[in-house]
Structure 1
Amino acid sequence: MPRDRTTESFTRAGLNLIQQALSIYDADLRLAVCNRPFQEMFGLPERLVTPGARFDDTIRYLVDTGEYGQVDDPKAFIADKVDQALAFVAHYVERTRANGRTISVEGSPLPEGGWVTVYTDITSVKRQEALLRARSEELSDQLLTHAEELALTNRRLEATIAQLQEAKAELTEMEARTRLVTEMTPAHIAHVDADGVYTFTNRRLSALLPDRHSDIVGLSFTEALGADTAQLLQDNLARAALGEASVREFTDPATGRRIRSAFTPDETAEGGVYLLSTDVTEEAQARAALLQTHKRELAAQLTSGLAHDFANLLTIILGLQTRLEKMPLPLGAHELTSATRMAVRRGGALLDKIAGMTGSRTVQTAPVVVQDFLDTFTPLARAALPEGVTFQLTNEVPHPALMLDAGSLSDSLLNLVLNARDAMNGTGQITMTLRPVKDTWLEITADDTGAGFSDDALASALDPFFTTKGDEGSGLGLTMVYDLVKLTGGTMRLSNIASGARVSLRLPLKPAEAEARPRLILLVDDMPDLRAGVREILTDLGHQVIEAASAEEAETLADLPGLDWVLSDIKLGGMDGVALCKSIAARHPDLNLALMTSLPAADPLRTEGAARWPVLSKPVTPGDLHRLLNAEAAA
């Protein structure tokens, strides 16, 4: 039966309180139990007081340290002690140690083998006995009484000292365990006294907020956290000091991290507050993204029916206008019908934008080389600007690659450029900067030298249909950018600066993981141009490619050693890609297979292939191939 840990602790504490040293060895002459006085009496190292220690090793150590004085033949001496131990004969002896002190050794055998031995330091008793024998006729009854009282007092004092030592050892062990637990906890745990000074910390503050110090004991609340953060939490700290517990979730001004802090009153006489703080940045990002998804779903439900009815009305109006134009109308009526038709078409375009904003949309991130992304985006941005407007882009991101939805981000940034262009009346400068914020956010700012945002725009520019462009604007541009940012769990902020307006986006900063080892891929496609495009993507991702222009050629190359993947088009001349993969899988069941095609999802051939292997839709993107190959690496 397993022993209860509490019982073991009580037993160990009880044995340590005994004045005598105690040891128990089993039938194999291995240590089963001993107490602390046993170790202290003979100065034994830790290895010899650990359960399982050999009896002969202990005797050898005592001989080597001079416990038995001069021993002429240590080997024979140890063997004799072992033989005596194996005999398990009850015994009592008194001997004088090499240090001059006298001990009694009392051993008793155990029923199932082994024995228990008690060692008692009787030096003071022997001295008193000698004194009494030598001068008994000179000692009065009073002296004997005082001697007895003194001996009793000494014994009580020794017992008290032993209890204090045991309590100190228990407290030290408990404190060490508590420290270990708090250090391993992925949170900052601390105590602040009634004066607002830290008296304890688990030194995890710097892991929570990288620009803070870890050792903050002795610092005030403001000195440890910084003035801005301390100001945010001062009210919670004050209420906790008065006995009111609370939890506060806040964004740290310096790092942008989302922190949840619990304030618990210290109800002891000293008072103060216990603090428990955790980093919930990723949780907050996920909550924001989920909330935005729910909002989109609700918006889609509310608008879908209205949009359908509105579209029907527009269709009716357009039909009536067509019939009107066929009738003989008075002078100027055709201009009115043309204007009406144009308004109907604008209404239809607006419906498309609403459908795009509220319809199904997910953020699909993939590793994106930041500089490549910016090199592609910059020409697009400059092409949309007139000659009098310049565009400057600065990249301060140290990571070469990030997890991003490149297409959606490019559309959003281009939208910011176009809005800035319209605000500058043909002349000025647009500056876009990418930089990390404390390894938590990717911050993208777009500054322009226009007139800046009006008060109404600062308050409402992110609301659907708000526009300052009159009839020329739909009021959905910034709303769609805001929608993308919220879907990622990020934030968007509008402000005015000295030179004009600023739009700031913060997206979760997620560096792309290092690529796995390069793979050897057999690429099968009977169209050279398409094959060349996919090959270029794969080599850019760091992989090696072998090409096959037909299924027959691919079957031969599939037997090459070291091959990791076969990626084949479904539509091939002769044997199709599905049949090719079946043939290869029969010979090489461990080989990774995938298909690519432009066939619709309902096509029987595509459905048959998708039932067994991954199928990529053409045109194949770098993100598609990266996810495919990384899914295999993760598996």
Structure 2
Amino acid sequence: MPPSRADRDAMTMAGLNLIQQALTIYDQKLRLAVCNRRFQEMFDLPDALVTPGADFADTIRYLAARGDYGDVGCVDDFVSTRVEIARAFEPHYMERTRANGRTISVEGTPLPQGGWVTVYTDISTTKRQEALLRARSAELSDQLLSYSEDLSAANRELEATITALEEAKSQITEAEARTRLTAEMMPAHIAHVGPDRCYTYSNRRLTSVMPGSRADLIGVHVAEVLGPQPWSLIRPELDRAYAGQPSVFEFTHEPSARRIRVALTPDPTSGGVYILSMDITRESQTRAALQQTRRREMAAQLTSGLAHDFSNLLTIILGMQSRLGRMGLPDPAQDLVNATLAAARRGGGLLGRIADMTGPREHEPVPTDLSAFLGDLETLARSTLPSGIALRIETEGTADRYLLDAGMLQDSLLNLVLNARDACGSRGSITITAHPVQDTWLEFTVDDTGPGFTPEAINHALDPFFTTKGGEGSGLGLSMVYDMTKLAGGRVTLGNSGDGGRVALRLPLRPAGTARPPGLVLLVEDSPDLRSALREMLRGAGHSVIEATSVDEAAALIADLPEISVVLSDIVLEGHRSGLDLADVPRRDDCPLILMTSLPPDDPLARSAADRAPVLRKPFTALQLDAALASGDGA
């Protein structure tokens, strides 16, 4: 066990008392901080002047009044002068003979944090030896004796200077260590490259910012350290920095799929360049999601008025065509009426899809079991495929749970499956693959064995209303996929594999951690039919279920059954109390309350509920319910 602070202080003072020199440390307010016993003995001082906190001026006044400095004239003026010198303290070495005939050397050094340390050495014996040498060595010239004395004094002064230099070196070393530690702790790569584009300095953050880069980089060229793709993007900016133009730019680091921001600052003193590199992947993902939200808001403002007017016109057309259809027109005319009705209804459906694209929709990620999600997706997707098309779902290196908006992702992947089905025709195969990309993205790819994308489709397939299906396609399917993926801060890429088309969705990789194990769920719902459906969902996920229809029943069960792990309650219940009142019922800290509602978000009761507990909005799927229970959160 290491010694305590008090023990260390006692040991330090004992060591100071053993040295032959007197030592004092005064702080920046000229108050005594530390002195050893030798200081009191050398100057025969009273206890009050060797007690921490003693005033420097009082000590000088005491010694001057006693005659220790000889005849000083006015004691107050002498003390005032010494105090002013102390306030502007500078390193010094001096020798003086005291009133008692003894000679002492005084060596003072300032401290970095203010104040100073002084060492007093009794050199009377050395001085007597010098005097004896002068008296007994008549054969030595006065010049030689004087030189010897000067050399001795110079040596003592040199020792004092060396001590000051060593202290300064120690301070500089500590400052350099602090600076280097600060550079190492920053979440960025800090480096300097010389005129030859080789690294002269670097902290140890490069491989954490840009994985796959070379770690031992001092003296190595930037191109060799970073690799071909990053170097091709950084090189033009680095050339401008060498020409004296600072720059800040961003690029995608393909080996790690990360987004990197780089700041280059010319170094005019050496002809090199300072480099600061930061991983801004999450920032760019959030920025993309915000930009897509703003685009949706603008699109909604532009289309809502037009959609309203067109809806009115289509309603009029449908009404008039229906009247024409009841007039007993000949068959050719009736065919035209039917075709007009079909086109108008298709226009109405198109307006509905436009409203879906531009209407308000929030990205709401929740902890999602990837295997269960893909299992549900497979069930839905197979029901849409003809018997001649095979569906395969693969996972590579994935964890159990991720933060995903399961509804949005399911809509997107089903849309891609339907497009792949149309591309394959009556026979073929579709493969859905999920795998992580470094520690940055969770990628879902949909491959088909169709003819693949044409160059025009690759360039424009994500544009609204672009379609290769002629009159049968709306041109909004991939646009909706793009929209929902961008809302999540992700990316969509189109291309062709060796066997057909490929669409890849990259979503931010957010592992959700370990799921809450199944437990006893208290279900509070006053509708018997809904309670029965929720009971089946909960049991299907492995939970045990007990039920209540009111807050009073639920409160009694919570009090009697401490093993309840989750309380799942509707907001509106029978009786005068709502599900919000359950938030005030005492329960275990690890027993969350999750509220359910079909009330609109702007309803006062729904807003109050959102402030008290997670809210799960109806209708919801078994997957969404399981995710909410597993995390103790709502959607």
Distance 1:140 1:226 in 2: 77
Quick one: which amino acid aligns to residue 395 of structure 2? Answer: N
Distance 2:594 2:467 in 1: 48
Note the C-alpha offset of 1:341: 1.3
| 8 Å CA contact retained: 2:583, 2:613 | no
TM value normalised by structure 2: 0.75
Distance 2:123 2:38 in 1: 25
Residues 408 and 170 from structure 1, CA distance in 2 versus in 1: closer, same or farther, beyond 3 angstroms?
same
Quick one: which amino acid aligns to residue 577 of structure 2? Answer: V
Distance 1:306 1:339 in 2: 24
Residue 242 of structure 1 corresponds to which residue in structure 2?
Answer: 243
Residue 188 of structure 1 corresponds to which residue in structure 2?
Answer: 189
Note the C-alpha offset of 1:498: 2.0
Alignment of 1:58 with 2:58, yes or no, is no
Note the C-alpha offset of 1:494: 0.8
Helix, strand or coil at the partner of 1:137 = coil
Residue 232 of structure 2 corresponds to which residue in structure 1?
Answer: 231
| 8 Å CA contact retained: 1:577, 1:595 | no
Quick one: which amino acid aligns to residue 195 of structure 1? Answer: D
Helix, strand or coil at the partner of 2:559 = coil
Alignment of 1:405 with 2:405, yes or no, is yes
| More moved, 227-236 vs 623-632 | 623-632
Q: Deviations over 1:349-393 (max 9, x none)?
A: 111111111111111111111111111112322232223222222
Helix, strand or coil at the partner of 1:511 = coil
| 8 Å CA contact retained: 2:525, 2:569 | yes
Distance 1:496 1:303 in 2: 34
Note the C-alpha offset of 1:397: 3.7
Residue 577 of structure 2 corresponds to which residue in structure 1?
Answer: 578
Note the C-alpha offset of 1:223: 2.1
Distance 2:614 2:553 in 1: 22
| More moved, 147-156 vs 377-386 | 147-156
Note the C-alpha offset of 1:561: 5.8
| 8 Å CA contact retained: 2:517, 2:630 | no
Note the C-alpha offset of 1:205: 1.2
Note the C-alpha offset of 1:554: 4.0
Residue 497 of structure 1 corresponds to which residue in structure 2?
Answer: 497
Distance 1:140 1:49 in 2: 56
Q: Deviations over 1:580-625 (max 9, x none)?
A: 8759957889997665456778999989988977765544555457
| 8 Å CA contact retained: 2:17, 2:37 | no
Note the C-alpha offset of 1:141: 3.4
Residue 523 of structure 1 corresponds to which residue in structure 2?
Answer: 523
Quick one: which amino acid aligns to residue 195 of structure 2? Answer: A
The 5 A counterparts of 1:28-67 are: 56-58=13-15
Distance 1:182 1:608 in 2: 47
| 8 Å CA contact retained: 2:492, 2:505 | yes
Distance 1:152 1:489 in 2: 75
Note the C-alpha offset of 1:541: 7.2
| 8 Å CA contact retained: 1:439, 1:509 | yes
The 5 A counterparts of 1:103-182 are: 118-120=119-121, 122=123, 125=126, 129=130, 132-133=133-134, 135-148=136-149, 150-151=151-152, 154=155, 158=159, 161-162=162-163, 164-182=165-183
Note the C-alpha offset of 1:533: 4.6
Percent identical: 52
Residue 416 of structure 1 corresponds to which residue in structure 2?
Answer: 416
Residue 430 of structure 1 corresponds to which residue in structure 2?
Answer: 430
Helix, strand or coil at the partner of 2:137 = helix
Note the C-alpha offset of 1:550: 6.9
| 8 Å CA contact retained: 1:569, 1:577 | no
Alignment of 1:203 with 2:160, yes or no, is no
Helix, strand or coil at the partner of 1:138 = coil
Helix, strand or coil at the partner of 2:276 = strand
Quick one: which amino acid aligns to residue 223 of structure 2? Answer: T
Distance 1:543 1:387 in 2: 36
Distance 1:261 1:107 in 2: 52
| More moved, 561-570 vs 442-451 | 561-570
Distance 1:126 1:536 in 2: 103
Note the C-alpha offset of 1:320: 2.6
Alignment of 1:348 with 2:348, yes or no, is yes
| 8 Å CA contact retained: 2:367, 2:631 | no
Distance 2:184 2:608 in 1: 55
Q: Deviations over 1:456-490 (max 9, x none)?
A: 10111000111111111111111110111111111
| More moved, 207-216 vs 236-245 | 207-216
Distance 1:462 1:473 in 2: 14
| 8 Å CA contact retained: 1:250, 1:259 | yes
| More moved, 341-350 vs 116-125 | 116-125
Helix, strand or coil at the partner of 1:332 = helix
Residues 305 and 598 from structure 1, CA distance in 2 versus in 1: closer, same or farther, beyond 3 angstroms?
closer
Quick one: which amino acid aligns to residue 271 of structure 1? Answer: G
Alignment of 1:510 with 2:515, yes or no, is no
The 5 A counterparts of 1:221-620 are: 221-268=222-269, 270-327=270-327, 329=329, 332-515=332-515, 521-525=521-525, 530-531=530-531, 533-535=533-535, 545-548=545-548, 554=554, 556-560=556-560, 562=562, 566-569=567-570, 576=575, 578=577, 585=584, 595-596=595-596, 616-619=616-619
| More moved, 461-470 vs 585-594 | 585-594
Note the C-alpha offset of 1:309: 1.5
Distance 2:205 2:609 in 1: 52
Note the C-alpha offset of 1:340: 1.2
Distance 1:219 1:632 in 2: 50
Note the C-alpha offset of 1:79: 9.9
Distance 2:255 2:431 in 1: 24
Distance 1:336 1:179 in 2: 82
Residues 579 and 461 from structure 1, CA distance in 2 versus in 1: closer, same or farther, beyond 3 angstroms?
closer
Note the C-alpha offset of 1:559: 2.2
Residue 91 of structure 2 corresponds to which residue in structure 1?
Answer: none
Note the C-alpha offset of 1:539: 6.6
| 8 Å CA contact retained: 2:515, 2:630 | no
Q: Deviations over 1:419-473 (max 9, x none)?
A: 1121123222222211111110011111222211111101110001111111111
Note the C-alpha offset of 1:311: 1.6
Note the C-alpha offset of 1:300: 1.0
Q: Deviations over 1:556-589 (max 9, x none)?
A: 42322635654445676xx537268759957889
Quick one: which amino acid aligns to residue 205 of structure 1? Answer: L
Distance 2:188 2:228 in 1: 21
Q: Deviations over 1:250-286 (max 9, x none)?
A: 1101111111110000111x22110111111111111
Residues 463 and 579 from structure 1, CA distance in 2 versus in 1: closer, same or farther, beyond 3 angstroms?
closer
Quick one: which amino acid aligns to residue 477 of structure 1? Answer: G
Helix, strand or coil at the partner of 1:578 = coil
| 8 Å CA contact retained: 1:568, 1:595 | yes
Helix, strand or coil at the partner of 1:506 = strand
Q: Deviations over 1:143-196 (max 9, x none)?
A: 235435644664675466445434432321221111111112111111111111
Quick one: which amino acid aligns to residue 180 of structure 2? Answer: R
TM value normalised by structure 1: 0.75
Distance 1:247 1:141 in 2: 73
| More moved, 532-541 vs 317-326 | 532-541
Quick one: which amino acid aligns to residue 190 of structure 2? Answer: I
